[in-house]
Structure 1
Amino acid sequence: MASTDLHQSPTTEKEISGGTTTGANVNGASATQRYDYGGNPLFHAHSGPDARLPAFGGEFQPGLYKPIEHRKFANPAPLGLSAFALTTFVLSLVNVNARGVGIPNIALTLAYGYGGLVQLLAGMWEMAIGNTFGATALSSYGGFWISYAIALTPGFEALTDYPNEAQRASVLGFFLTGWFIFTFILLLCTLRSTVMFFLLFFTLDLAFLMLACAEYAKSNGAIGASTKLTQAGGGFGLVAAFLAWYNAFAGIADSSNSFFVIPVFHFPWSEKGRQARAIKNERETA
């Protein structure tokens, strides 16, 4: 698809999220009346005549959000997503035992430096631009990578006090189960966003679940089942890594630096999906 065509029809996620919208619809209703806040107690913080942009994975925004007209920072979401993607990609290759590699030491270097520190910084910058979801997710997963690296680094002796391998596997299972629950909470916040944004958290949640179950199986002595579950977790992790890169590319690429940009896959029940159906119905009845 040529870049000139993209300007003629705003059918890409980047263009729609960065486009200009007005505070009134065709019937003259205000933006506040257009958007259904569902009894949200924070209605006063989100309401008003300002325009809203649809959910966009490249901005790490799962719902309608205000355009940032005078941003002092660049968009930090692609940085955080890229840090998460690369670290997850390498560890997941180890988990699926790619090329016979089963020791995750190389992933620990990324967990400290890129997936940990850099992603944590991206989360702080998301907080600076007012993106609560992005700040919570990126900062938390940055903390996950740092804590995971600490747990597996021999010098910290985080697991050495446990008397046997079964208990060490159990506490790692507890650790991963907690992240499965946290990711599921974030997953619920993406149900009205884009398909690729939702799938990122869906596959990541399954990866945490598989890896947690692998540790529990190991603690029970079921080594064969543990190996299969670890490989399944690695498979879901690889998919999550590519989805994170997909959303990162959506936040970076536009018609000024790329010959193509990421297409939109909004859920039918999202705000953008309802708008598309309304336009289609108007054309059919015209």
Structure 2
Amino acid sequence: MTEQKRANPAPLGLSGFALTTLVLSIYNSGLLTQGVGAVLGLAAFYGGLAQLLAGILEWRAGNTFGYVAFFTYGAFWEWYFISAMGILPGITNQGVGIVLIAFGIFTLAMWFGTFKSNLGLFTTFLLLWITFFLLGIGTMISNLAVVHAGGYIGILTAIAAWYTGLIQVVAESLGVKPPLGRAPLSK
């Protein structure tokens, strides 16, 4: 009996992360200032729910890194959604800032796990921990310039994540190896 081929859940998780991050980062950068509520549906469903699902599918496939990453960032987007909706009372800039910095610390630790993977994933996590730290610090000290810098790095993060996810879809459909580059410690 042969095992049925299963789809790779990583492109779904990376795409949900990338699109939601891109939209929010456009607002965080100051490129757009009105209509930030547009990101809420994305946070709940594409950034949140789709990544939670991708995480569960990575767990089922035995990919611990993918499971932890997608499930954690999916939970982040769900937290963002309920926070922005005002469901959690008493959230202050300092509280949001410390959450963002904590996610930066988590992401920095996860970044070390990409050193032997591929350049796409390595770059995505590198840019993401920088984004979290800039947003967290900027929010805590109420410095819009630092938040804007985090927004611009967030846009780059989204581009790196989208490339990393979508190149896998395109490469599979063309029957070629995805050009993701070599991470610093990969062979």
* 8 A contact 2:20–2:46 mirrored in 1: yes
1:131 aligns with 2:94: no
CA distance in 2, matches of 1:235, 1:134: 25
Query: Which structure's residues are more often helix, by fraction?
Result: 2
Residues 1:186 and 1:90: Cα distance change in structure 2 (over 3 Å):
same
Tell me the CA shift for residue 71 of structure 1: 5.0
Could you say which structure has the greater relative contact order, defined with CA pairs below 8 angstroms and 6 or more residues apart? Answer: 2
Tell me the CA shift for residue 207 of structure 1: 0.5
Higher Rg: 1
Equivalent pairs counted in the alignment come to 186
| Alignment match, 2:14 | 81
Unpaired stretches in structure 1, ≥5 consecutive residues: 1-68, 163-167, 219-225, 272-286
| Alignment match, 1:265 | 181
| Alignment match, 1:174 | 98
User: In percent, how many aligned pairs have the same letter?
Assistant: 37
| 1:132-190 deviation line (CA, Å, top 9, x unaligned) | 10010001100000011111113x1x24x36xxxxx11111111111011101100111
Unpaired stretches in structure 2, ≥5 consecutive residues: none
TM-score (norm 1): 0.61
Residues 1:239 and 1:124: Cα distance change in structure 2 (over 3 Å):
same
Residues 1:177 and 1:204: Cα distance change in structure 2 (over 3 Å):
same
Moved over 3 A (4+): 69-72, 255-258
Tell me the CA shift for residue 265 of structure 1: 1.7
TM-score (norm 2): 0.91
Residues 1:199 and 1:103: Cα distance change in structure 2 (over 3 Å):
same
* 8 A contact 1:211–1:230 mirrored in 2: yes
CA distance in 2, matches of 1:71, 1:184: 36
Residues 1:96 and 1:102: Cα distance change in structure 2 (over 3 Å):
farther
Tell me the CA shift for residue 104 of structure 1: 2.3
CA distance in 2, matches of 1:146, 1:267: 30
Tell me the CA shift for residue 255 of structure 1: 6.5
* 8 A contact 2:119–2:181 mirrored in 1: yes
* 8 A contact 1:88–1:238 mirrored in 2: yes
* 8 A contact 1:250–1:261 mirrored in 2: no
Aligned counterparts, 1:154-169, within 5 A: 154=86, 156=87, 158-159=88-89, 161=90, 168-169=92-93
1:253 aligns with 2:170: yes
Quick one: which of 161, 164, 167 aligns to 1:244?
161
Residues 1:255 and 1:208: Cα distance change in structure 2 (over 3 Å):
closer
